[in-house]
């Protein structure tokens, strides 16, 4: 006789806002009525009165123990925070947008009831998103590492100084820059920081790494799209200022002059929950409010 698998989900929310609290309580009540436990880490648990989540007790894949999905209530920043918990659990993330753009999120507030019913009925699919990982070396010694869903950025640590770097792809030099920083992004991250830095938008189906210099003082300062099998290395001038390594705008490390920052495709992806068949093109147009009708078209 097969043991019944008890459904458990994890909540990550931008607490402290009344709209988020109201939405989170509604989600918790709806899932509870369906026999689904909603757990939360310490901050959310205290704010919303949910059952505690202890990552150390989790055994992903074990009957009755695994987290089915992570619900992120907020904006893209909240979803990136949720990714930190979801990735080691191999759990997909459902983003419920209460932010501004919410490009990564799947559900707007107006569609919440329908979305929750789809989750209860298990009518959803999962999309795999590439990540990037980074290793920093100084004098041949490992000093820092990390990963990101959107981007790894190497930024100047002093506002008054330009960051001088040399960028390599697979051990071959591409260009030297005096810049504010260099970003190494995934296709998912192409609509975030690198988009603001003038980089191209990559569709999620494109398996590639994106390199984008920020405010570079160089003749050749274009964004580059390279193979996902490549390793991008950013050499930091030994005679220059300290740099800052930032993963997804959340996790930062100070790195000394002379460091080498190696970025490559991540070993483990992040999974996103999808509830409808909306294409990336339609999402891009809707979120950025792009004009899709020309001046000759009388429909606009």
**Residues annotated as part of the active site:** 76
Dist CA 81 CA 13 (whole Å) = 9
- Asked if 212 contacts 173 with a C-beta cutoff of 8 angstroms, the reply is no
* Angle in degrees, 0-180, between the axes of helices 18-33 and 112-120, rounded to the nearest 10: 30
Q: Which residue has the tokens 């920093």?
A: 136
Q: How many helices (H) and strands (E) does the chain have?
A: 6, 20
Residues facing 254 on adjacent strands: 244
DSSP class of residue 6?
P
Neighbours of 63 (CB within 10 A): 11
Give me 208's structure tokens. Answer: 């590639």
Is residue 167 within 8 Å of residue 234, measured between CB atoms? yes
| Pair 179, 162: CB distance under 8 Å | yes
Is 221:197 a contact under the CB 8 Å cutoff? no
CA dihedral in degrees (122, 127, 128, 132; nearest 10)?
A: -120
């Amino acid at each position: 006789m097969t043991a019944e698998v008890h459904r458990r989900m994890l909540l990550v929310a931008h607490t402290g806002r009344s709209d988020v609290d109201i939405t989170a309580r509604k989600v918790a009540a709806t899932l509870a009525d369906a026999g689904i436990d909603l757990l939360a880490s310490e901050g959310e648990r205290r704010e919303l009165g949910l059952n505690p989540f202890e990552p150390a007790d989790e055994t992903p894949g074990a009957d009755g123990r695994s987290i089915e999905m992570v619900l992120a209530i907020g904006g893209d920043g909240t979803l990136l925070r949720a990714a930190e918990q979801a990735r080691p659990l191999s759990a997909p993330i459902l983003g419920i947008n209460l932010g501004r753009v919410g490009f990564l999120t799947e559900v707007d507030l107006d569609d919440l009831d329908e979305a929750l019913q789809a989750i209860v009925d298990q009518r959803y699919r999962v999309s795999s998103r590439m990540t990037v990982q980074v290793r920093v070396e100084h004098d041949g010694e490992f000093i820092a590492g990390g990963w990101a869903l959107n981007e790894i950025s190497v930024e100047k640590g002093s506002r008054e100084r330009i960051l001088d770097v040399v960028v390599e792809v697979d051990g071959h030099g591409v260009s030297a820059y005096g810049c504010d920083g260099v970003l190494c992004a995934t296709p998912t991250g192409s609509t975030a920081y690198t988009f603001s830095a003038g980089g191209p938008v990559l569709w999620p189906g494109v398996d590639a790494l994106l390199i984008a210099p920020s405010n570079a003082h160089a003749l050749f300062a274009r964004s580059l799209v390279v193979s996902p099998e490549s390793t991008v290395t950013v050499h930091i001038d030994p005679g220059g200022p300290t740099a800052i390594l930032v993963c997804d705008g959340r996790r930062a490390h100070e790195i000394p002059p002379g460091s080498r920052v190696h970025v490559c495709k991540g070993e483990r992806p992040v999974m996103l929950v999808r509830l409808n068949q909306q294409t990336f093109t339609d999402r891009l147009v809707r979120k950025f409010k792009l004009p899709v009708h020309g001046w000759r078209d009388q429909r606009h």
